[in-house]
Amino acid sequence: MGLRLLVVEGNVREAREAHKAAFGKTSSESYADAILAVAPDVLCDICLPADEGANLPDPGGLAGYDGIAITGSALGVYEDTPPVRRQIDFARACYASTTPFFGSCWGLQVAAAAAGGAVTMNPRGRELGVARSIVATPEGRAHRLLAGRGPVWDAPCIHRDIVATPAADTTVLAWNDSSAIQAAEIRHDGGVFWGVQYHPEYSLHELAVIIRRRIGILVPEGFFACAEDGERYCDALEAVHADPGRADIAWQLGLQPDMLEATRRLTEIRNFVEHYVRPTKSARGRA
C-alpha cells in the first residue's frame, strides 16, 4: 500500500494564483510533483490553511496521513495577520498529531514559531538563487535528513527571513554564512519536524520564474544593476534547466552538481520519505 502525504500550501489565494499564472502550477502542486519524483507510490492531498474556513481533504484529520510537508510562502511569520496565525495554529496541530512533518523555507519558519521560536528579517539581507556553502553541523552529519549530503553543498533558495531564535528543543543540522539555521530538527508537543531553510523542491525553471517576478524588488536591493541584468540571469537559469549539459552557463552562474542534478537536489525530500515517513508508517502498523 502506498503512502498518503498532505502538502500544505503556505500562500494566500492571491499569491497562489500569481505563481500558477507564471509557472503553471501552485507551489503546493509543484511540491507534490517533487515528492512524486522521489516516491512514485505517494498519494498527495493539498490543503490551504492560510484561507479562512479551509478544511482538510481527509475528514479523518492529520493523523490519517503518513506525512505532512509545508511549502514556501510570500508571507512573513512575524506578520500578525489571520493567514499567519492560522498557519501557526495548523503547525501546532501537526506536532500534536505526531505525524512526520517536513517543510522548506516558510515551512521551517512556521514550524519554529509554532514551537516557541522567533523569526525575523535577516539582518544580512536576502539570500537569493543559490544558498552557497551550506555546512553540516556534527549533529547534521549523523542525521538521516542529510544522508547522502557531503560536508558542504549548495541548494536553491530565495528568502529574506530566518529563524533568529530556535525553539527550545531544536537541533541545528546545517548552516551557512547567510543563515545560522539552514536545516534543523524540532521536537514539540510529542511531534518531530525536519526542515530546511532552502528549497530542494525548486527546479532551476521554477527558481527562474520566481526571481523574474521579483526583479523590480531585487534591483533596488542590489542583486542586479538593472532589470535587463535580472532578465539575463533568469534566461541563463532557464537555459541550464533546458540543457543541463551547458557547462559554460553553469560555470558562469557558479552552479554545482548539487543544483544541476535533480537526484542530488531532492536529497532532503527523499530522506524525509524514506528515513522518516516509511519507518514511522511501519512502526504504526500501517504497512
How high is the mean pLDDT of the chain? 96
Q: Is the pLDDT reported for residue 286 higher than 90?
A: no
The arrangement of secondary structure in 3-201+266-283, i.e. its CATH architecture, is 3-Layer(aba) Sandwich (3.40)
Average confidence (pLDDT) over 128-144: 98
CB atoms closer than 10 angstroms to residue 14: 9
Which pLDDT score, from 0 to 100, does residue 285 have?
Answer: 66
Which pLDDT score, from 0 to 100, does residue 287 have?
Answer: 43
> What would the pLDDT profile of 42-57 be if each residue is shown by its tens digit?
999 999 999 999 888 8
CB-CB contact of 150 with 275 (8 Å)? no
Which pLDDT score, from 0 to 100, does residue 111 have?
Answer: 98
pTM of the predicted protein model: 0.96
> How many residues comprise the chain?
287
Name the helix (H) or strand (E) containing 163: strand 161-165
Q: Is the pLDDT reported for residue 11 higher than 90?
A: yes
Average confidence (pLDDT) over 90-103: 97
Nearest to 135 by CA among 169, 178, 105, 164: 178
Hey, CA dihedral for 197, 200, 204, 209, is it positive or negative? negative
284: pLDDT confidence band, cut at 50, 70 and 90? confident
Whole-angstrom CA distances from 138 to 32, 124, 173, 174, 253 are 31, 25, 8, 9, 30
Percent of the chain with pLDDT over 70: 99
Domain ranges of the chain: 3-201+266-283, 204-257
> What would the pLDDT profile of 246-283 be if each residue is shown by its tens digit?
999 999 999 999 999 999 999 999 999 999 999 999 87
